[in-house]
Amino acid sequence: MRSDDLELLITSGEIEKGVRELGARLTSIYSGKRLVVIPLLKGGFMFASDLVRSMALDIQIEFLGAASYGEQTRSSGEVRLTLDTTLPLKGRDVLLVEDIVDTGLTLAYIQKLIRSREPASLRTVVLLDKRAGRQVDVEVDEVVFDIPDRFVFGYGLDSPGGFHRNLSDIVTVKE
Ligand code: 5GP
């Protein structure tokens, strides 16, 4: 993919500001609590690593991996768990950190799985929300950016084929 074909959607500076503000809000919401933060892999890794560094709390990190995409640019609806947590979540305050919500199918599946482990609380934060793509009603507590119904990548999200996760900005292909 040539860089001329890419359209800049959200700059690294805007991301940094949005993530820092979210970290401050979460710090006050969870004040005095110990938290288990669960980045949802693969896409949530970069967002989560910046977010936890902007939260002044006692945090443990666990990982969940989910895949639903294959080579297409819209969720197949079939979600596969590719990595599971190792700590017990029962009675813990859990924060799920996801890169993007589109149809909502991935988050609905993962939230159901976490709830079945009886955490004391579960909140979900997403960096990007494509509201126009929603197929199931899913609870999202905090959204950093609402975006149009375009396929985006960068800042942890991959382009078709699995590349471009290491871009600092969020981009899309020019229409
Ligand atoms: P959903 O299940 O809500 O349709 O989609 C959630 C998952 O699909 C995300 O975790 C992400 O991996 C992927 N996804 C949805 N929209 C996009 C997009 O625009 N770009 C990329 N790279 N992945 C997306």
Residues 98-135 have pLDDT tens digits of: 999 999 999 999 999 999 999 999 999 999 999 999 99
Q: What is the mean pLDDT of residues 66-78?
A: 69
Report the CATH fold assignment for 3-66+79-173.
Answer: Rossmann fold (3.40.50)
pLDDT at 132 (0 to 100): 95
Between 46-50, 60-64, 70-74, the lowest mean confidence (pLDDT) is in: 70-74
- Cβ count within 10 A of residue 20: 13
Atom of ligand 1 minimally distant from the CA of 105: 2
Statement: residue 12 has pLDDT above 70? yes
Statement: residue 72 has pLDDT above 80? no
The residue whose CB lies within 8 Å of the most ligand 1 atoms, and thus the one to mutate among 6, 157, 163, 166, is 157
Residue 26 CB partners (closer than 8 Å, separation 6+): 51, 55, 57, 95, 125, 142
For residue 66, the 8-state DSSP code is E
At 125, the amino acid letter reads V
pLDDT at 104 (0 to 100): 95
Q: Above pLDDT 90, what percent of the chain?
A: 87
Q: Where is pLDDT greater, at 71 or 10?
A: 10
Statement: residue 4 has pLDDT above 90? no
Average pLDDT, the chain: 94
Ligand 1: which residues within 6 Å by Cβ? 43, 68-69, 75, 98-107, 151-153, 157-158
Residue 2 CB partners (closer than 8 Å, separation 6+): none
**Band of the pLDDT at 68, cuts 50, 70, 90?**
confident
pLDDT at 69 (0 to 100): 57
Examine residue 42 and say whether the peptide bond preceding it is cis (omega within 30 degrees of 0).
Answer: yes
Q: Above pLDDT 70, what percent of the chain?
A: 95
Instruction: Report yes or no: 51 and 22 within 8 Å, Cβ to Cβ.
Output: yes
pLDDT at 74 (0 to 100): 66
Question: How far from the centroid of its chain's Cα atoms is residue 109's Cα?
Answer: 14
What gap in Å lies between CA 42 and CA 126, rounded to an integer? 14
- Angle, alpha carbons 17-156-57 (nearest 5°): 55
Expressed in angstroms and rounded, the spacing between residue 102 Cα and the centre of ligand 1 is 6
pLDDT at 2 (0 to 100): 78
The residue whose CB lies within 8 Å of the most ligand 1 atoms, and thus the one to mutate among 99, 125, 149, is 99
Give yes or no: 84 in active site. no
Written in H, E and C, the secondary structure of 108-151 is HHHHHHHHCCCCCEEEEEEEEECHHHCCCCCCCCEEEEECCCCC
Q: Give every strand in the sheet of 170-173, ordered side by side.
A: 6-10, 170-173, 152-153
Atom of ligand 1 minimally distant from the CA of 77: 2
Q: What is the mean pLDDT of residues 55-70?
A: 90
Burial (CB count within 10 angstroms: exposed 0-12, middle 13-18, buried 19+), residue 174: exposed
pLDDT at 73 (0 to 100): 64
Q: Specify the pTM.
A: 0.95
Expressed in angstroms and rounded, the spacing between residue 74 Cα and the centre of ligand 1 is 7
